[in-house]
């Protein structure tokens, strides 16, 4: 997968997530909408963070290992 394709996919997923949060918050009464939107966006952010952490492959087209990648590789025995 190319870096540009991956970035486009992430942007589309982000826009869809944000749109769903806005749609659900718009269904609520005005006094509760801003609090609900904040809560929904926070939960969505944590969900996407969990998805990113659970990805087994390295970042797309990464020319070097990050500290996180090195520690994961050491943990799994790929590096000495």
- Spatial neighbors of 24 by CB under 8 A, at least 6 apart, are 36, 40
- If one counts the domains in the chain, the total is 1
Confidence (pTM) = 0.61
- Integer Cα distance of 13 and 62 in angstroms: 21
pLDDT in tens, 34-77: 999 999 999 999 998 888 788 776 666 666 666 777 777 777 76
Q: Looking at the domain assignment, is residue 80 inside a domain?
A: no
Structure tokens at 28: 């609520």
Three-state secondary-structure class, residue 66: coil
Spatial contact of 17 and 37, defined as CB atoms under 8 Å apart: no
Domain extent, residue 67, equals: 3-75
| Axis crossing angle, helix 30-54 with helix 3-26, rounded to the nearest 10 | 150
Q: And the tokens for 51? A: 């998805």
In-domain check, residue 56: yes
């Amino acid at each position: 997968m190319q870096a540009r394709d991956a970035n486009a996919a992430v942007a589309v997923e982000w826009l869809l997530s944000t749109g769903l949060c806005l749609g659900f918050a718009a269904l609520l009464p005005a006094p509760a909408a801003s609090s609900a939107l904040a809560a929904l966006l926070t939960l969505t952010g944590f969900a996407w963070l969990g998805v990113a952490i659970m990805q087994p492959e390295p970042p797309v087209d990464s020319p070097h290992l990050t500290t996180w990648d090195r520690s994961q590789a050491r943990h799994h025995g790929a590096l000495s």
